[in-house]
Each structure stands twice: as structure tokens, then as C-alpha cells.
């Protein structure tokens, strides 16, 4: 399957990245299943809209340095190498359409029943798999460093997530 979003829409980039791995019990079948997410270390870059810019096209060259870690979600574009790495680590990570978000993105799926595990619940809800509320739940997330360039187009950006700084030092 292929992204419908092009590399022209990249809004995040970094010299390296982490693959965050975790497990949850599927909301549909209750089986344990692997999850993946992209984490950008500081200093990564985000595409910023210039004040007064009419549209994103006029802001293409305005990149800002971000001094904290960030999770990306609702990812619409990943380069081939990053995509292959994610799919090797979890066969349930693939391009799909979400009825909840009414859009397509690179999503986690249950390894048993194939249910789409919507990014909103993984990143935006308290105690979501990638939204730890305490050090114990953060300890369930493993960060795998990847020393290669990264770029993506993503609609979601969890800036300075709690406890991630300490996880990266493990």
C-alpha cells in the first residue's frame, strides 16, 4: 500500500529518530498486540507557518528547531526506508482508513483480529499506550534509536511527552 500524501507535504524532519514500541490489549478481541510510534529527539525540526502566510505553500522554507522530544501520530507520509523498518518490527503497522478520523494514515492494527487501533486513543487519551501518566506506564514503552535521517508528514504532534526523556537514556 502506498501513501496518498506526497513527500512535498513533509512537516517534520530530524537527523535521527526512535521507534517507540509498546503493547496493549486490543479493544476488539482483548488479545495483546504490538504497537509502534515515531519519536523525534531534540533538536528536530517542524515546518512552521509564517505569520500572515496565506497557505502552507508559502511557508515551505520556514523550519523551526524543537528543543524537546515529540511523538508523531496520524502520520500520512513516511519515506520507504522508515516504512519498511516499521513494517518489519510490527506487521500490524500499515496504511489504512480510519472511520473515526475520516482519513487515511499509517496505523497500528491488532495482530490477532486486524482491528485498527486508532491513534487518538493511543496518543491523546490519558493512559493511552503512548500517553503515559506515570513512570510505571512509561516503563512499558521501549525506545529503539535509529541513527538515520527521518522525515514525515503528520497531523498529530505530542510535544514534550512526560517521562520520555528518561526512557531515552535506558
- Is 121 exposed, middle or buried (CB count within 10 Å of its CB: 0-12, 13-18, 19+)? middle
pLDDT of residue 52: 63
Bridge partners, 100 (sequence order): none
Decide if 66 contacts 44 (C-beta within 8 A). yes
Dump pLDDT digits (tens) for 7-28. 679 999 999 999 999 999 999 9
25-32 long-range contacts (CB < 8 A, ≥24 apart) are: 26/110, 26/112, 26/113, 26/115, 26/117, 27/115, 27/117, 27/121, 28/110, 28/113, 28/115, 29/110, 29/112, 29/113, 29/115, 31/110, 31/111, 31/112, 31/113
Q: Whole-model pTM above 0.85?
A: yes
**Mean pLDDT of all residues belonging to the chain:** 89
Domain residue spans in the chain?
Answer: 7-167
Q: How far apart are CA 59 and CA 45, in angstroms?
A: 14
Dump pLDDT digits (tens) for 41-58. 999 999 987 666 666 555
Q: How many residues are given for the chain?
A: 170
Tell me which residue has cell 513516511: 78
pLDDT of residue 54: 63
Dump pLDDT digits (tens) for 58-82. 555 789 999 999 999 999 999 999 9
Dump pLDDT digits (tens) for 95-151. 999 888 788 999 999 999 999 999 999 999 988 999 988 898 899 999 999 999 999
Amino acid at each position: 500500500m502506498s501513501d496518498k500524501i506526497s513527500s512535498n507535504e513533509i512537516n517534520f524532519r530530524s537527523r535521527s529518530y526512535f521507534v517507540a514500541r509498546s503493547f496493549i490489549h486490543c479493544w476488539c478481541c482483548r488479545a495483546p498486540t504490538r504497537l509502534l510510534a515515531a519519536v523525534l529527539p531534540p533538536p528536530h525540526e517542524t515546518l512552521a507557518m509564517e505569520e500572515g502566510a496565506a497557505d502552507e505553500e508559502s511557508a515551505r522554507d520556514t523550519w523551526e528547531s524543537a528543543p524537546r522530544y515529540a511523538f508523531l501520530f496520524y502520520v500520512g507520509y513516511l519515506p520507504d526506508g522508515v516504512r519498511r523498518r516499521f513494517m518489519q518490527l510490527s506487521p500490524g503497522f500499515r496504511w489504512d482508513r480510519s472511520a473515526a478520523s475520516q482519513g487515511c494514515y499509517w496505523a497500528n492494527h491488532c495482530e490477532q483480529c486486524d482491528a485498527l487501533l486508532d491513534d487518538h486513543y493511543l496518543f491523546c487519551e490519558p493512559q493511552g499506550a503512548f500517553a503515559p501518566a506515570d513512570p510505571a506506564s512509561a516503563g512499558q514503552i521501549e525506545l529503539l534509536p535509529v541513527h538515520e535521517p527521518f522525515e514525515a508528514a503528520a497531523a498529530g504532534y505530542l510535544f514534550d511527552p512526560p517521562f520520555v526523556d528518561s526512557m531515552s537514556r535506558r
